[in-house]
A = this chain, B = another copy of it.
């Protein structure tokens, strides 16, 4: 219901480009059913390839039309993306989630007002990526209206379920920011994404406390959902965040130079939160084990793709040139995918890594080899592979003809593309 309202707003404001001409999104959706599916519901591949928009990719059985889908999707993506913005789709809800989070933090512990302020500085995280994914996942898994259920009863259930799923989005954001706050203490980071880190401004005391506070609020909110499976999933996430951070602290050269170790660490530090919370969204909706796994797979692969690109951007920044990023990882001696791939071509890097990066000239030498290697490109390719796997998970969800469900699934696929293309 809420997505339809958003959609109406979108329709009032703009048109959607499909196959080179403008139609209203709602209008296209209707004409699509008649045009592609035919009267008996069978599909004509030629027609399909001609008129298929991004959104409608999910109507297809994923495995049968894999290559065709990818071809069409790539051709149309840039124009359609302008119209279907995943963040706009859940803007109202995101705003409500944000308000609730702000109220939870500010009202009960005035002393932590400064932490709350940091928490809500948009510069820290840009858009609310995780809650957006989770709200879209909630809509993407929306069960069809139960036959025979009265509108009132179903609506009540649906509203309650949505509130519980929103709660998962809030909990996830709290856990995420708590880990940022504690990571800031750990890394002694002076700056995070251009916004003064809290521990730089306020000292370690407030950072640790604010992180603990957010974690405790997350625990209380989690407990109030009264779903032990969901509690276990998100408790495990907190453990993974710590394990990931611990793995990153390793001083063993063998582990620091292992791609397998790096990917495991990346899963723990970045992908576990979003994958487990996506699964929690599915569990709350009483989805099957298979659907819950697909939700988890989406989150896991999106998270890995996100971090791989993050690791590229640490070297390139917004430009495509090496050394334009903040280089914060390598300067801290954290070896990420681009360097790991470069090492396969230039084993000399092993020696540099062993010497450490306290000496800035060692950073320059590493960048020199990285520039000569396929490290950046192979990292991007690996990120794309994970992004595709995330999209595959969405496209493998049980068929649905519900308009809101399909829009949300499409938005989730668009996010996998955005993650790869982002420059900041």
Contacts and interface: CB of A to CB of B under 8 A. Distances in A.
B216 A112 contact: no
Given A228-B228, A246-B111, A182 B219 contact: no
Contacts of A186: 204-205, 208-209
Contact of A220 (B208, B222, B236, B250): B236
Contacts of A222: 231, 235
A231 B223 contact: yes
Interface in A100-135: 108-109, 111-112
A174 to B, nearest CB: 12
Interface stretch (A82-90, A237-245, A257-265): A237-245
Is chain A's interface secondary structure helix, strand, loop, or mixed overall? helix
A313 interface: no
Contact of A213 (B209, B212, B231, B246): B246
A217 interface: yes
A interface bracket (residues with beta carbon within 8 Å of B): 35 or more
A208 B205 contact: no
Nearest to A237: B216
B232 A182 contact: no
A243 B208 contact: no
Interface of A: 108-109, 111-112, 182, 185-186, 188, 204-205, 208-209, 212-213, 215-217, 219-220, 222-224, 226-228, 231-232, 235-236, 238-239, 241-243, 245-247, 249-250
9 contacts: A186-B208, A209-B242, A209-B245, A213-B242, A220-B232, A223-B228, A223-B232, A228-B228, A231-B231
